[in-house]
Structure 1
């Protein structure tokens, strides 16, 4: 039974490492070119430095149109509920496209329906996050800016290509990390198995030796 427990402990650790890797957060920059008349996702991702720490976050979006000098609040999301705050400009054209069914937001993206040329400008995405530790809470925030250009026909810019390349590099890096962790876990399991077998063999030899001595004692007594 002890040998089985020794094998199960590193295996459980290996599974946990794999789960953490699967849930990894990667900050990918948003595309910056939208096509008039189509939908467009404004990506805004803010990863926690400590993924195991529970947190509650809210996201605020602001917009400064091309030629203007001040930002206007356009969208707010918190407590799993989103509100469009600039109905005159965006009406019902904004929709939440980030983290769902959780208060612990890391993806604060929104989606613009039926993009118009008036949507050209700079968007500001602001995260307010409260990290909950065992004995205290810690407030943190992050702000990202996206300069959007609306065109009549889609063209693939260098920023989009670089973002896609960085995304694939990050995914490959995470997969390599997972392979290293699995090899490490396998070696730990193998070492634990060999140790358990040595202990079992030593225990068996000790019992066999003791039985032999007992039999010899009984023979002499007879």
Structure 2
């Protein structure tokens, strides 16, 4: 058991990779992270990977090689991104799963289509197996962040739900108040009827005693 516990913990730690889509709206004159994650399906198999990024501007016909990262070394290839681009992916490992990059001081010329390509080599005891993965991201540069319809709809539905819940609570309170009030009136009527019945019975008993005397 003592030997299995570290192995289980190691499996959990290495199995935490989740492929999340990148944001697609960048703000001019600000930094922007181009996300690209390619999880290794066989976490227990050692591997090495290289990541290459390609860019096609909105007025370009073909992709140009933008950036390359391999053996812990990054290289900005496209001169349009010199001194404006940095590696933002997996750190201190050749077994890359996060191939994200970060663009500094985004300009409107950065609008376009980006491709992230993983070239991974899985190293088995007797052979090596090469796999490739590619992701395409279309980036739009805007003066400021705009809220999507989904976000607006979610916020509206949240307020509607809150107002509906408050209305339901008011209705429940009124209903309970009326029910308690009605029960109180019924109890008073029953108490009054019982009192009158006792009083009438006492009067009859008193009249019978006087006749007997």
Give 1:151 deviation, angstroms. Answer: 0.5
Whether the 8 Å contact between 1:31 and 1:160 is mirrored in structure 2 is: no
Q: With CA pairs under 8 Å and 6+ residues apart, which has the higher RCO, 1 or 2?
A: 1
Give 1:153 deviation, angstroms. Answer: 0.6
2:102 to 111, 117, 122: 111
Question: What CA distance in whole angstroms lies between the structure 2 residues aligned with 1:25 and 1:65?
Answer: 30
1:61 to 53, 62, 75: 53
Question: What CA distance in whole angstroms lies between the structure 2 residues aligned with 1:58 and 1:30?
Answer: 19
**Relative to structure 2, which stretch is displaced further, 25-34 or 13-22?**
13-22
2:23 is matched with 31
The 3 A distance-change label for structure 1 pair 136 and 158 is: farther
Question: What CA distance in whole angstroms lies between the structure 1 residues aligned with 2:127 and 2:21?
Answer: 32
For 1:150-189, what aligned pairs fall within 5 Å after superposition? Answer: 150-157=141-148
For residues 41-77 of structure 1, give each alpha carbon's deviation from its aligned partner in whole angstroms, at most 9, with x where no partner exists: 0000011110010001101000000122210101010
Gaps of 5+ in 1: 1-8, 162-222
Give 1:17 deviation, angstroms. Answer: 2.2
Question: What CA distance in whole angstroms lies between the structure 1 residues aligned with 2:147 and 2:42?
Answer: 35
Give 1:25 deviation, angstroms. Answer: 0.7
Give the CA RMSD over aligned residues: 1.9
For residues 71-129 of structure 1, give each alpha carbon's deviation from its aligned partner in whole angstroms, at most 9, with x where no partner exists: 01010100100000011x11210100001111110000000000000000000000001
Bigger Rg over Cα:
2
Question: What CA distance in whole angstroms lies between the structure 1 residues aligned with 2:131 and 2:149?
Answer: 32
Question: What CA distance in whole angstroms lies between the structure 2 residues aligned with 1:32 and 1:124?
Answer: 13
Alignment coverage as a number of residue pairs: 151
2:83 to 81, 92, 105: 92
2:121 is matched with 130
For residues 118-151 of structure 1, give each alpha carbon's deviation from its aligned partner in whole angstroms, at most 9, with x where no partner exists: 0000000000011000000001110000000100
Structure 1 runs of 4+ with >6 Å offset: 158-161
With normalisation by structure 2, the TM-score equals 0.67
